[in-house]
A and B are shown apart, each in its own frame.
Chain A
Amino acid sequence: MNVKRCSLEDRPESRALAPRVRSALPVLAESAEETVRLTPGAPIGDPIPLEPGGWSAFRDSGKPTSAQQVMPADPRVAEIVLGAANAAYADLGLDGPFVVAFFTAEDRPGGVILSDAMQSRFHLEAFMAGAQTDPPSIWIRLDDRAVTAADLRHLVRHEMGHYALERAGMQPGQIAEALADEYASGGMAAVQTAFGRGAIAPRHLNAGTPLAIAAPSGSTVIIDGTSMMFKIQTAPTYSYSHGAASGDTTPHLITLTAITPGATPAIQSYVNFDNSGNTGWRFPSTFDAPTAREYVATVSGGTGAYLVTVKTVGHQCAVHLNGSGQVELGVWCSNADGITRTFYGKVYVLKEAAL
C-alpha cells in the first residue's frame, strides 16, 4: 500500500480554501494504481473525489453544540472559537470517514484530523494551552469499539496518520538525521507546531524525502527549507498512563526552568504505546490521534492473527511560555481504550536560529 499526498491546490474548488486550507490533504492509495480520496459519509473503499459537498456533509451532520464553538458560514471550515474557559467540548456525532481541518481564531492552522469507521463516535475537544492569549490548541478523542474482521479492510485508513501537513505559505520542511533515526523503522511523517515562530513543515520520510543535516553534531537538526533553521534545545521523553477509557485530559507538564527564551519555541513530538525506543517512535502526534499496532483475532478469544492499527487515544503536546519566561511543555493524553494505556512520547523543543 502506498500513501500519496494530494494538494488541494490541484483542484479548482480548493482555491477558494486557500490559504486557510492550503494544507496538503492526504490521499490514500490502497494500491499503486488506485487512489482513494475520502469524503465524509461516503462508503469506504471506493475512489471518491474530495468535493465541497463533503464539507457540507460535515456541517450538516454534526454542528457543535457548545456555546464556545461556532460554525462559520463557510461550511468548508470548522472554526473553533474559545471563550474564557479552558476547554470546550462537543460531540459531533459523526460516523464514517471524514476529513476536518481546524484553524485557530488567529488564522493559524490547528491541524488536520482524520477518522474512519473504526470509531463509532467522534469527539472534538478544544483547549487553551495556558493563558488565553496563547494560541488555542485542539485535539480529538476517538471512542473505539471492538475490532472485527470486517474492520480490517478499513484499517489501512490509519495510514492516513502518516500524511503530511504544510503550514499555509510555508515550504516543505526537512527533517534531519537525528529525527530520521527515530523513524528508522517506520518511514512516517512528522507533524509540528511552531506557534508564532514560523513553522517547520512536516514531511513524509519515505524514500526520496530530502533530509538535510545542518551540522553533524546531532544537535542541529531541522531546516525548514526557507530561511530558518531550528536546533534542538532539549529532547525530553515522558511516559503517561491512563486507566481504561478514562478520558482523563489532565496535562502532564514539564517546565524547563533553566532556560528563558523570549519567544515560544517550536516543538515536535511523537508518541507510542510501547516504549520502543530502539525501533523508533512511529507516530506523529501533534494534532493527530496517534495509532497503535495491535494484533487482533477474527473471533472473540481467538488467536491474534491480524496486525491492525487502532486509534484509541487522543494526544497532544504543546509548548508555551508560562508567564515567567520559562518554557512549559504540556502533554495531553486521553485513553478511550478498554484497558489501561501508557503513552510514551518524545518531545523536541526547537530553537530558531539563523542559517
Chain B
Amino acid sequence: MATHPGMLIAYDADGNVITTLPYLILYDETLAARPPIGMIDFASHEEVGGEHTDIWVVEGAKGSKVWPEYLDSQAHDFRVELEGEPGHKRIGALVHKLSGHRRERAAIEAAIEAAPVIGGTKDIRHLVGGPAHPLRLDVDGKTAGSRRPAANAALPLVGASAAVPMTTGMPPASPATP
C-alpha cells in the first residue's frame, strides 16, 4: 500500500500539469457539527484501481494521477511521464519543462523505503513535504528544501482522524488536525 496519500496531478494531452490537488479533507455531512473525518488517501485509491473522477473532475485534463511528492503550484513547471501497462499507468517521473530535470518516482520511493523507522514510524517529510507544506524547489526543479522550518514539529505529514486510519509508516497525526 501507499506510504502516504500523495498529491493529485491533472495533466493535458501533452503531459503538462494543469491542476494539482494536494489534499482534500472529508467532513461528516450527516452530523450537524460536520466533524472532519480525515484526509482522502489519493494513493491508496489509485492503487486499488479507484477512479480519480471519484475525487475530482478537471475540465480539459487528459488524466490525473497521484504523485508522491507535495509540490503544489511548483508542479506546473513540469510535465508528467507515465509508466506502466494500459489501465494501470501511473506517473513515473516529472520532467522540468525548462531544465529537463527529472524527478523520478522510483528514486523517491527508494528514499522512502530507506528512511529509518523511529518510534515505529518513518518521518519522510523531508522527502515528500506534506499537505500545505510542499517541498521547495529551485528554478531547475530540484529540491531546495522545505518551505516550513523543520522545527515546526506540530505539523503533521498527513492528518486523519481515527475514522480513517493512515497507512503504514506514518508519524502519528496531530490531534489538532481536522
Residues of A that sit less than 8 Å from B by CB: 178, 181, 215-220, 231-240, 251-262, 275, 277-278, 281, 344, 346, 351, 353-354
A252 near B60 with CB under 8 A, answer yes
Chain A positions within 8 Å of B56 at CB level: 236, 254-258
Tell me if B85 is interfacial: C-beta within 8 Å of chain A: no
Which partner residue on chain A sits nearest B25 by CB separation? A233
Contacts known (A234-B25, A237-B19, A258-B55); A220 close to B176, Cβ less than 8 A: yes
* B3 interfacial by beta-carbon distance below 8 Å: no
Closest Cβ of chain A to B102, distance in Å, is 18
Q: Are A344 and B178 in contact (CB under 8 A)?
A: no
Q: CB-CB < 8 A to A235: which residues of B?
A: 22-23, 72, 132
> Does the CB pair A253–B59 fall under 8 Å?
yes
Cα(A252)–Cα(B138), bound, Å? 28
| B-to-A contact residues, CB < 8 Å | 16-27, 29, 33-34, 36, 40, 53-60, 71-77, 130-134, 136-138, 144, 147-148, 152, 154-156, 159, 174, 176-178
Nearest to A260 among chain B residues (CB) is: B29
Q: How many contacting A-B pairs (Cβ < 8 A)?
A: 139
7 contacts between A and B (CB under 8 A): A217-B155, A218-B133, A236-B56, A256-B24, A259-B24, A275-B76, A277-B74
Residues of B within 8 A of A277 (CB): 71-74, 76, 134, 137
Q: Are A219 and B59 in contact (CB under 8 A)?
A: no
CB distance from A269 to the nearest CB of B (A): 12
- Residues of chain B with a CB closer than 8 A to A219's CB: 25, 131-132, 159, 177-178
Q: Please judge, given known A-B contacts A217-B174, A219-B25, whether A239 and B18 are in contact too, CB under 8 Å.
A: yes
Ranked nearest first, the 8 interchain pairs of A and B with the lowest CB-CB distance are: A277-B73, A216-B154, A277-B74, A253-B59, A215-B176, A237-B73, A217-B177, A255-B57
- Out of B57, B74, B178, name the residue touching A217 (CB < 8 Å): B178
Residues of A within 8 Å of B76, CB to CB, are 237, 239, 275, 277, 344
Q: Measured between alpha carbons, how far is A259 from B72 in the docked complex, in Å?
A: 20
Which residues of A have CB within 8 Å of B148? 181, 218
Given the known inter-chain contacts A181-B147, A275-B76, please indicate yes or no for A257 contacting B19, CB distance below 8 A.
no
Partner among B36, B53, B59 whose Cβ is within 8 Å of the Cβ of A252: B59
Which of B19, B26, B27, B137 sits near A238, CB closer than 8 Å? B19
In the assembled complex, which residues on chain A have CB atoms less than 8 Å from the CB atom of B19? 236-239, 254
Name the distance in Å between B174's Cβ and chain A's nearest Cβ.
Answer: 5
CA distance A239 to B53 in the complex (A): 19
Q: Are A261 and B27 in contact (CB under 8 A)?
A: yes
**Cβ contacts under 8 Å, A258 to chain B:** 24, 26, 40, 54-56
Residue of B nearest to A328 (CB): B57
B residues near A253, Cβ cutoff 8 Å: 57-59
